[in-house]
Amino acid sequence: NKKISIAIDGPAAAGKSTIAKITAEKLSYIYVDTGAMYRAITYKALKSQIDIQNEKEIEQLLLETSIELKPSNSGQLVFLDGEDVTEKIREEQVTNLVSTIAASGPVREEMVYRQQQLGKDGGVVMDGRDIGTKVLPHAELKIFMLASVDVRAERRHLENTRKGYSSNLEKLKEEIELRDKLDSEREISPLRKAEDAVEIDTSFLSIEEVAAEIYALAQERM
């Protein structure tokens, strides 16, 4: 069996990381959550109180920052300069700012470079917004995962409630819509379906069904 690369893109909260994790586990591949990398630098920028409008400052900050993704039982841990920030990068403040920082050209260039290094030997499942179009344009399997905004907000709401976090469905819907808008309308590597991507609308599918479909598609390409 050939070690292929699998790119999973799509809007916020479409279930990409859940499915990517399962797929990587089934295939014994590396899982790379690229959103977590953008979240990690956003978290650091917030903490360091630099001017977040200043691209040069953020680029400089990123160049001196180490971001590591380590597999764990619960999926993936995110380390920022050696500190475990897995939970912290999911906080609202980070979520609301990440798309602004991810729109910066120099930040994207450095992130794409790091992601390509992580994926260079294949055997990788990577999820994000520009994986099929920019990071891994030669990936053997590209998935574009969609779901209605209502379904996505409901799922995130359920997840939050289950974890014991406070959660407001209407606010979640707004946050998701705004992030999709920013990510789709930015100038550099906007959220787009790659021409050769397989589109999967997960609105009415279970996690198991989506995972099975992607697994079958992966098998065909090995």
What is the rounded distance in angstroms from the CA atom of residue 181 to the CA atom of residue 99? Answer: 10
DSSP state of 132: I
Considering only residues 144, 149, 183, 202, which one is a binding residue for ligand C5P as defined by CB under 6 A? 183
- If residue 67 lies in a helix (H) or strand (E), which one and from where to where? strand 67-72
Shortest approach of ligand C5P to residue 181 CB, angstroms?
A: 10
Binding mask 88-107 for ligand C5P (x = CB under 6 A): ----------xx--x-----
Which spans in 64-189 are helix H? Answer: 92-101, 105-119, 149-163, 169-185
141-146 and 5-9: which strand pairing? parallel
Residue 57, judged by CB atoms within 10 A of its CB (0-12, 13-18, 19+), counts as middle
Residue number, 28 or 88, with CB nearest to ligand C5P: 88
Report whether 15 belongs to an annotated binding site: yes
When asked if residue 12 is in the footprint of ligand C5P (CB under 6 A), the reply is: yes
Binding mask 111-150 for ligand C5P (x = CB under 6 A): -----------------xxxx-------------------
Given the rule CB under 6 A, which residues bind ligand C5P? Answer: 12, 34-35, 38-39, 98-99, 102, 128-131, 179, 183
